[in-house]
Structures are given as C-alpha cells and as structure tokens.
Structure 1
Amino acid sequence: MTVMKKVWDPAVRFFHWSQFILLAGLWYTGTEGLMEWHQLLAYTLAAVLLARICWGFYGSQSARFSQFAASPLKALRYLRRPEPVMGHNPASSYMIFALLLLVLLQFVSGLMTTDHIFTDGPLVRYVSSDVVSLATRWHKLGIDILLIAVAVHVVAAVWHSWRHHNVILGMLHGKLSAPKDMGVPTPKAGWSYFILVVLFWLAFYWWQGADLIRMLSY
C-alpha cells in the first residue's frame, strides 16, 4: 500500500520553479538585447542559486547533495529497475549537478563578457583580453548547452512521471507516493534559505543592481 508523503521542502521547490522561470527570462532578454533586464535577472538567479548551494549542505535531508549523489553504477541500476526514492533519484542526480554547474558557469562567464559595443560585464576591466574572449565565447555557447540540458531534464521528468512517480506534481506540493512503512525525514521549513536569497540579492543590488535600475529609468 502506498501513501503520499512530504518529501521536498519549500526551498527546493522554490529554487526549482524560479530557476526555470528566470532561465526563460534570461534567454528572452539576451535574445532581444534587453541587457539591463538580462543582468538584473542574472543577479536574481545567482542569488537563488548560491542560496541553494548552501542549502545543499545543511538543509533538509532530501535537499542535501550527499543524499542524492550517486555512483554511475547505482544510477544505471536505478534506470534498469526504478524503485521508490524519497527525494532525487540516483539517475537524476547527474542532471541536477550538471544544471547547477552550467548555470554557475553561465553566470560567472557573463561577468566577464563583452559585446564590444554597449555592454561589458562588471569584471571585464579586471581580467585579460584572452579571458574576456574565452568567457564571451563560452557565454554564447553555454546558453545553448544549458537549454538543451533543461529540455532533456523536462523530457525525463515527464517520462518518469508517466511511468513511475509524478515528480512534476511532487515539485509543486512537495509530496511523493511511497510504501506506507517507508520512513521519511520531516523536511525543514526553509526560512534560512529564503533569508540567504534576500541577503545574496541585496549584495548583488548593492554591487551592480542600483546602477542597472537607474539605467532602466532613463
């Protein structure tokens, strides 16, 4: 007999959906040349991401990196014979780490990117021209790789929800079906995660955001 059990805390769910929305906004603003908005969204996503990385070390058990990090062999065994997992499954862990790394690389490279016309990243002046050139090339290529990874992640989530556990709805209400006798640690409320998001966002606003908002008001 299976029942619905609370697995994912508000912090994990907020990060998951806000990352999806912010990436869509970053793609659109970058494509349309709305660079002030693009940078504001980038700093917002960076605040959400950095807080999630911190939460991955001290947050709820299902949110911790140590909980879902898995060997390739374990991931393959899971793909061959899926079983209830109270959190991210071993196979999805590789996509999660890849997405976190790609988003982080995209943000860092963006700080050192230039279009040689209107917009320079805030770190362009501090690094060599070779680093700027490399960062600019990666930033243009990285968004395509990131979008492909997101598409693969979405397809995998839809397939998994259809065949095994509805992880898409689970990321909305935080619950997954599991055997009645399977123990599940109680997720934390996640207030410290949201406090970290605000603190990181304020730091970015103090560093660059205020100037960007002034530029938007002209």
Structure 2
Amino acid sequence: MAQRIKVWDGAVRFFHWAMVLLVAGLWFSGSEGYIALHQILAYCLASLLVARIGWGIWGSQTARFSQFAASPQAAIKYLGNARPVVGHNPASSYMIFTLLALLLLQIISGLATFDNSYMSDGPLVALLPASWVDLASAIHQVNIDIILILVTVHIGFALWHSWRHDNVIKTMVTGNSKVSDAPQPRLRNSWSFFAMLAVLLLIVYYWQGRALLALL
C-alpha cells in the first residue's frame, strides 16, 4: 500500500525552481542584449550551483550525489521498467549530473567571454590569452543550445513520468510523494544550504554585483 513520505527538502526544491527561472532569464536576457541583467543572473546561478554542490555532499539523504548516482546498466534497466522511486531515479541522475556540468561550463566560459555586442566583457577576459577568450566565447554560444535541448528533454520525460507513473512535478513542489513500502529518507534542515547561498551571493555582490546593478 502506498504511503505518503517526505522526499525532498526545502533546499532541493528551492534549487530546482530557482534554476528553472534563472536559466530562462539568462536565455532571454542574453538573446535580447540585456547584458547587465544577464551577468547578474549568471552570478546568482553560479552561487546557486556552488551551494547545491555543497548540499550534494553534506545535505539530506535524497540530495546527496552519492545516493542517486547509478551505473549505466541501472539507468537503462530503469528506462525499460520505469516505476516510482524515492528521490532521483537512475535515469534522471545522468541528466542531473550532465546539466550541472554544462551549467558550470556555461558559467566558467561566460567569465571569459568577449562579444562586441556586450556592454562589458567577462572579468577573466583581460587576464587570459586571446585564443582562450575566443574558445570560451565559442563554447558559451554553443553550450547554451545544448543546455536548452537537454532541458526540453528533461521536461518531456518529467511530464511523461508524471502521466504514466507518479507526479514527480508535484512532488518537486510539495516535497511529498506516495511510494509503496518505502522508508522515510533522512532529511536535514536546509538552513546551512541557504546560509551558504547567502554568503556566496554577498561575495559576488561585492565582487561584480554593485557595478552591474548600477548599469540597470
């Protein structure tokens, strides 16, 4: 018999939906040439990613990377027999790790990106050889398209899974899920995640944020 359990803590749910909004905002601001806003959102995303990586090490059981990492065989087997699980399923874990890596690459390449249409270059442009800057700029332009494609695939799979099995989208909103014969995972209070995020945002504010806010 299915029982309702708490699967996701506040840190994971906040990260997920904040990342959705930030990626959408970054795509829009970059496409429309709102570069000061684009860079502000990028620093917010960078802070969020670093905080999530930390939470993936010391956070709740379902938030830890070690808990939902799976072998390729397990991911393929799950796709052939999808079912409700507690936390991230073996197939989605590969999408999550890939998106995290690509988002980090997008942030790092953005720090070294030069574009004549931009109001200001990335802060690393002046410190790197021109060939590195050209490479970073090219990666930054191509990588966003890859990210958007994978996000679309991720959303499609989440919708399909919610329709055929359990509502993973609702679970990511409420944190609760109904899973048969599943023990309650160990969840930690999310205060340390939000404290780390606040510190990171404060650092980037004094490093770059003040000057960028003045351009808005």
1:84-163 to structure 2, matched below 5 A, reads: 84-116=84-116, 118-163=119-164
Unaligned runs of 5+ in 1: none
CA distance in 2, matches of 1:56, 1:131: 31
CA distance in 2, matches of 1:66, 1:207: 33
Letter in 1 for 2:21: I
2:53 alignment partner, SS class: helix
Corresponding residue for 2:69?
Answer: 69
Corresponding residue for 2:202?
Answer: 202
Corresponding residue for 2:50?
Answer: 50
Instruction: Give identity over the alignment, percent.
Output: 53
Q: How many residues align?
A: 215
1:186 alignment partner, SS class: coil
How far 1:108 moved relative to its partner? 0.4
RMSD: 1.0
Deviations 1:58-94 (A, max 9, x none): 0000000001100000111111122332100000000
Letter in 1 for 2:210: A
Deviations 1:112-161 (A, max 9, x none): 00113532100001111011000001111111111101000000000111
1:55 alignment partner, SS class: helix
* Deviation larger for 62-71 or 111-120: 111-120
CA distance in 2, matches of 1:158, 1:49: 24
How far 1:14 moved relative to its partner? 0.4
1:3-22 to structure 2, matched below 5 A, reads: 3-22=3-22
Letter in 1 for 2:143: G
* Deviation larger for 183-192 or 107-116: 183-192
CA distance in 1, matches of 2:81, 2:31: 42
Letter in 1 for 2:203: A
Letter in 1 for 2:11: A
CA distance in 1, matches of 2:187, 2:70: 21
After the TM superposition, which segments of 4 or more aligned residues of structure 1 sit over 6 Å from their partners? Answer: none
Asked if 2 retains the 8 angstrom alpha-carbon contact of 1:6 and 1:186, the reply is no
1:35-46 to structure 2, matched below 5 A, reads: 35-46=35-46
CA distance in 2, matches of 1:22, 1:215: 19
How far 1:3 moved relative to its partner? 1.7
Letter in 1 for 2:122: G
Letter in 2 for 1:168: I
CA distance in 1, matches of 2:120, 2:182: 54
Corresponding residue for 1:170?
Answer: 171
CA distance in 2, matches of 1:31, 1:115: 13
CA distance in 2, matches of 1:113, 1:182: 47
Q: How high is the TM-score relative to the length of structure 1?
A: 0.96
CA distance in 1, matches of 2:60, 2:103: 22
